[in-house]
């Protein structure tokens, strides 16, 4: 897992690296800026490309000055503007300014009456403030940010878009933040990059590892992580030669109602691609024929009601249960969910209409079985747990709810967050906007249910299910395009996703 660390801890990591690698602060800056230069020159290889580097007076500005020097040495057309909003330059910034001035003149901005004159058609490298700020920008720094945002040019922000707080919401000063096209975040990812409210500022972001000391990073405490593919592979033991279908569990999916049988089909087919041994769908009578035709490998347990779920089968045979895809919110269906969560000890995932029923009966949250997995999209989360003033507060709300109700919350979206009862948060890097289609959530529910049935721990099942689902979505988008792909294509791409993870 890749740790997300607060700015104060990252500064301590820098200091530890300088002392214990050992490496000088100047050489560490050279290393970080050099990696940024490599990224920039790979994306923009044409030497005719012009750059305007806007540097501040701190170490972020120092990074920018090194990048400017490397671009000049590589043959690019570069203009560098030093924005003197601080009383003095940091030592490394001052050193790299002298080095750069030996190659080319550096312009300075000392007053808000001076506008930055960008090279026509150039790419702006924003190295004003980085991640070290703790309040809204003001004065000359704000003036430079406004100049950048009104330029209409492509912007590459170094570490963070200038003005964006790394560890807290910036909504209160949203107009005072650089709107980057690309962000190259250094050393360790920052929490702000994971949250929807900051997409407008960060654009596409990449993580640039700069070789911070592994001992410090490994020992640093964090509640926030990004899942990595090698982590997912470690959750799954090899399939034994003499195993059989019973070895890999039996998933029950309670799903479907009149007009919503498709959700049950999608959940069933995703479950069938999870590696579990057996899948049964409990559904209304009118849904059973469709399910047995569309998902022939799954069995059907048929409800006594024709159009909605009103009861449960004997649960003793099942190693995991999913409730909700397309099941509607009939009073009898709600009573069935209440009975399930009051009496079942089988690992459980609740989605869709199951969540909507819970939102109408919030007291039921208190008797959810331990480690129940809830998979809300933002609207369902709001109905369950209320509104929050910003995305940082919403994430804290999810952590509080997961702890209070001893459950796992899968808060769906870009960078889907898996929130555990211990308040750890695992952000998922896979997936794409082409998955924003009806039925995608049903496929995720079926997939997680199948992994639970295999007796993968609930936390690992949630993390792995989200990652596999997103990776399959990426593979589907690669083949079909984001516009044309649909939820069923995610299921059809799960075979490639599994192969990629386990190879």
| Angle ∠(12,208,156) on CA atoms, nearest 5 | 110
Q: Which segments of the chain belong to CATH 3.40.50.10260?
A: 2-222
Prior bond of 22 cis (ω within 30°): yes
CA pair distance 398, 479, nearest whole angstrom: 35
For 279-333, write each residue's pLDDT tens digit. 999 999 999 999 999 999 999 999 999 999 999 999 999 999 999 999 999 999 9
What does the pLDDT read at residue 86?
A: 79
Residue 368 has pLDDT above 90, yes or no: yes
Contact by Cβ (8 Å): 273, 495: yes
Q: Residue 94: which pLDDT band, with cuts at 50, 70 and 90?
A: very high
Q: Give start-end residues of each CATH 3.40.1190.20 domain in the chain.
A: 229-502
Distance between CA atoms of residues 382 and 221, nearest Å = 30
pLDDT at 6 over 90: yes
Amino acid 276: pLDDT = 97
Give all strands of the β-sheet with 278-283 in edge-to-edge order. 2-4, 224-226, 425-427, 417-419, 408-411, 373-374, 348-350, 320-323, 250-254, 278-283, 299-302
Mean predicted confidence (pLDDT) in 477-499: 98
User: Per-residue pLDDT averaged across 105-110, rounded?
Assistant: 94
10 Å CB burial of residue 348 (0-12, 13-18, 19+) is buried
Is the pLDDT score of 486 beyond 90? yes
- Pairing relationship of beta strands 278-283 and 250-254 according to DSSP bridges: parallel
Is a pLDDT exceeding 90 seen at residue 452? Answer: yes
302 token code pair: 């048929």
What is the mean predicted confidence (pLDDT) over 77-86?
A: 94
Residue range 446-465: average pLDDT?
98
The answer on pLDDT for 87 being more than 90 is no
Q: What token pair was written down for 46?
A: 């044409």
**What is the chain's mean pLDDT, rounded?**
96
Overall CATH class of domain 229-502: alpha beta
Element (H, E) at 494: helix 494-502
- CA-nearest of 143, 328, 172, 153 to 162 is 143
Other beta carbons within 10 angstroms of residue 94's beta carbon come to: 14
Cα(192)–Cα(299) distance, integer angstroms: 45
The whole-number pLDDT of residue 333 equals 98
Q: Of 27-31, 342-346, 468-472, where does mean pLDDT reach its minimum? A: 342-346
CA–CA gap between residue 461 and residue 473 (Å, rounded): 18
Kindly write down the DSSP assignment for every residue of 435-473, as one continuous string.
G-STTHHHHHHHHHHHHHHTT--HHHHHHHHHHHHHHHH
Fold classification of 2-222 (topology level): Rossmann fold (3.40.50)
* Three-class SS state of 97: helix
Give the pLDDT mean for 365-393. 96
pLDDT digits (tens, 9 = 90+) for 228-266: 999 999 999 999 999 999 999 999 999 999 999 999 999
pTM: 0.95
Whole-angstrom Cα distance, residue 284 to residue 429? 37
pLDDT at 39: 98
Q: Which residue has the tokens 């809204």?
A: 136
Using DSSP bridges, classify how beta strands 123-127 and 107-109 pair: parallel, antiparallel or unpaired. unpaired
> Residue 174: pLDDT above 90?
no
Cβ atoms of residues 3 and 222 within 8 Å: yes
pLDDT at residue number 132: 83
Percent of the chain topping pLDDT 90: 97
The mean pLDDT value for 58-86 works out to 96
For residue 500, what pLDDT band results from cuts at 50, 70 and 90? very high
User: CA 143, CA 147: separation in Å to the nearest integer?
Assistant: 6
Which sign, positive or negative, has the C-alpha torsion 473, 475, 481, 486?
Answer: negative
Task: Encode 228-278 in three state secondary structure.
Answer: CHHHHHHCCCCCCCCCCHHHHCEEEEECCCCCCHHHHHHHHHHHHCCCCCE
């Amino acid at each position: 897992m890749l740790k997300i660390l607060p700015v104060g801890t990252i500064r301590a990591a820098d200091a530890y690296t300088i002392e214990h690698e050992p490496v000088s602060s100047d050489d560490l800056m050279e290393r970080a800026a050099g990696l940024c230069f490599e990224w920039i020159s790979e994306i923009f290889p044409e030497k005719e490309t012009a750059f305007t580097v806007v540097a501040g007076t701190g170490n972020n500005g120092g990074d920018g000055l090194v990048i400017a020097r490397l671009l000049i040495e590589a043959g690019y057309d570069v203009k560098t503007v030093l924005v003197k909003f601080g009383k003095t330059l940091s030592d490394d910034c001052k050193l790299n300014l002298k080095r750069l001035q030996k190659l080319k003149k550096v312009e300075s901005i000392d007053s808000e009456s001076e506008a930055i004159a960008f090279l026509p058609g150039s790419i702006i490298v924003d190295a004003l403030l980085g991640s070290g700020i703790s309040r809204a920008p003001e004065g000359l720094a704000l003036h430079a940010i406004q100049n950048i945002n009104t330029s209409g040019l492509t912007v590459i922000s170094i570490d963070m878009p200038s003005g964006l707080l790394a560890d807290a919401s910036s909504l209160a000063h949203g107009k005072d933040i650089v709107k980057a096209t690309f962000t190259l975040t250094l050393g360790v990812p920052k929490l702000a990059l994971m949250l929807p409210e900051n997409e407008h500022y960060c654009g596409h972001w990449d993580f640039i590892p700069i070789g911070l000391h592994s001992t410090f990073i490994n020992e640093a405490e964090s509640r926030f992580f990004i899942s990595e593919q090698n982590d997912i592979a470690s959750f799954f033991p090899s399939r034994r030669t003499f195993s059989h279908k019973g070895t890999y569990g039996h998933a029950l999916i309670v799903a479907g109602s009149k007009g919503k049988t498709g959700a049950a089909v999608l959940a069933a087919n995703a479950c069938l691609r999870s590696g579990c041994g057996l899948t049964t769908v409990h559904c209304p009578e009118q849904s059973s024929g469709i399910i047995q035709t569309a998902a022939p490998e799954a069995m059907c347990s048929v409800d006594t009601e024709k159009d909605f779920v009103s009861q449960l089968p004997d649960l003793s045979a099942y190693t995991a249960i999913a409730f909700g895809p397309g099941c509607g919110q009939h009073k009898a269906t709600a009573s069935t969910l209440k009975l399930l969560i009051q009496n079942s000890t089988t690992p459980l995932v609740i989605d869709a209409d199951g969540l909507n029923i819970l939102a109408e009966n919030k007291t039921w949250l208190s008797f959810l079985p331990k480690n129940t997995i809830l998979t809300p999209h933002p609207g369902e989360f709001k109905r369950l747990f209320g509104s929050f003033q910003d995305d940082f507060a919403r994430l804290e709300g999810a952590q509080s709810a997961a702890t209070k109700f001893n459950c796992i919350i899968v808060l769906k979206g870009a960078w889907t967050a898996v929130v555990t009862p211990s308040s750890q948060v695992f952000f998922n890097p896979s997936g794409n906007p082409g998955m924003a289609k009806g039925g995608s959530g049903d496929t995720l529910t079926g997939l997680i249910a199948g992994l639970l049935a295999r007796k993968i721990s609930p936390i690992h099942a949630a993390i792995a299910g989200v990652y596999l689902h997103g990776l399959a979505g990426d593979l589907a988008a690669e083949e079909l395009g984001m516009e044309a792909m649909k939820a069923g294509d995610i299921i059809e791409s799960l075979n490639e996703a599994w192969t990629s993870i386990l190879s």
